[in-house]
Chain A
Amino acid sequence: MENKIKSVFTAPLNFMNPVLVQVLGICSALAVTSQLKPALVMGLAVTVITAFSNLIISLIRNTVPTRIRIVVQLVVVAALVTIVSQVLKAYVYDVSVELSVYVGLIITNCILMGRLEAFAMQNKPWPSFVDGFANGLGYGIILVVVGAVRELLGRGTLLGFEILPKSVYEMGYLNNGTMTMPAMALILIGVVIWIHRAYFYKEEK
């Protein structure tokens, strides 16, 4: 049992990573990663929502009529997303402005529906919660990596703090404006997937 929980937790971080292996949730990964802070908040928001929607669906899985199970899942996810979006507006207003529509669009994030259908409907609450948490985390890590690279190369800052010293700019270094465009996020995610396949993914075979 202990081992099973452990593999439920570690799989989405590596072999079954929602972004790298299942290639889910790419849309929002492109949109919110131009800076580190929104990427962090988005990762956190998705983690909270996947964890709790998995938990709730798993708790009520035996009562859900099969014919309307997708509707039930959507209602649970939509309710959680609305709550998270309201909380963000109340406590981190500037971030909620920056994430704008993408918080609402978490509802359509394939990772959520995927985990609910594939895991929470068949498993007990605790493993489901861990699975949701780990999948959100696996998604969040990629967002943070891409967000950090894009902010560092695109603006020379991390979380808004100047990282590159003035002397680097004086030597003729320029911030790479392309990094702030969504197209670069796609390329960066491609690079991350490439590195992952080349060095970490082999072990499973």
Chain B
Amino acid sequence: MNKNSNTYIIAYSCIMVVVVAFLLAFVSSSLKPAQDVNVALDKKKQILAALNIRNLSDQESAEQYAKVVDRDAVINADGKEIAKGGKGGETAGFLLNSADYKAGKLAVYYCTVDGKHKFVVPVYGMGLWGPIWGYIAVNEDCNTIYGAYFNHEGETAGLGAEIKDSKAWQDLFRGKTIYGADGKPVIKVKKASEVKDKSCEVDAVTGATLTSVGVSDMLQEGFAKYMKLFAGQTSQTEANDAGDGEKK
């Protein structure tokens, strides 16, 4: 047989492609369930990290998540709940991704840590080289940060990547004020020399100006999206407080 004839080459490549396609399809579909479990677990770990619960084994993470997260929800930009998640927090907001976020479907996780209510909200933005995202835990007062976790796809190791690797940097966000008196987000990341108001401004990562600007923009944009939700929550708690007062 002439191995260099066109017929042979075309037949050869067709057979090769079909064989490889079937092989890859088989591998991909048989490993999919195990991969999905890993992706979900990784997300849970990131949410726990925002709540300052870190360095747990896989199993502990799953247990802690089920314990700490009361429920997840999907809200729209008006702060209205459009999908209510069940207990355990992996049925509504948990399934959303950055595309949903951009389309205005926002995830919220209602959590309880040491008897206190916390909200965890995801934020997505752009760093220097690619997407960055974070989970921010907000205190019951809806205006101060309880904990923050950031992650990235491809920021420079040792510089921009510090937003993920440096726990010390993420801890700088604890206790910062999110919204100003006019209700707009005031939380920002700035160069250390430019930080004026320590209650709402965080030192940037040294040597990673553009990534830090990305984080700053992401927080500004993200908390603007969640503005209605948190404004609504505050008036609700106030209403509840007032109601309690009357009963007494």
Q: Which residues of A contact B (CB under 8 A)?
A: 34, 63-68, 71-72, 75-76, 79, 82-83, 86-87, 89-91, 93-94, 97, 100-101, 177, 180-182
Contact = CB atoms under 8 A, between A and B. Distances in A.
Contacts, number: 63
A179 to B, nearest CB: 9
Interface of B: 3-4, 8-9, 12-13, 16-17, 20, 23-24, 27-28, 31, 34-35, 38-39, 41-42, 153-154, 157-158
Contacts of B35: 86, 89-90, 93
A181 B12 contact: no
30 contacts: A63-B3, A63-B12, A64-B3, A64-B12, A65-B4, A65-B8, A65-B12, A66-B3, A67-B4, A68-B9, A68-B12, A68-B13, A72-B12, A72-B13, A76-B20, A82-B27, A83-B23, A83-B24, A83-B27, A86-B27, A89-B35, A89-B38, A93-B38, A93-B41, A94-B42, A97-B42, A100-B153, A180-B157, A180-B158, A182-B157
B23 A79 contact: yes
Contacts of B3: 63-66
Q: Which 8 A-B pairs have the closest CB atoms?
A: A93-B38, A90-B34, A90-B31, A180-B158, A65-B9, A79-B20, A89-B35, A90-B35
Contacts of A82: 24, 27
B158 A177 contact: yes
A159 to B, nearest CB: 16
Given A65-B12, A66-B4, A93 B39 contact: yes
The B interface, classified by DSSP as helix, strand, loop or mixed, is helix
Nearest to A92: B38
A90 B153 CA distance: 19
Given A83-B27, A94-B42, 6 more contacts: A64-B3, A68-B9, A83-B23, A90-B34, A93-B35, A93-B39
A91 B58 CA distance: 12
B67 to A, nearest CB: 22
Most chain B beta-carbon neighbours within 10 Å: one of A67, A86, A91, A180: A86
A71 B13 contact: yes
Nearest to A66: B4
A71 B24 CA distance: 17
Contacts of B153: 100
Contact of A72 (B16, B28, B34, B157): B16
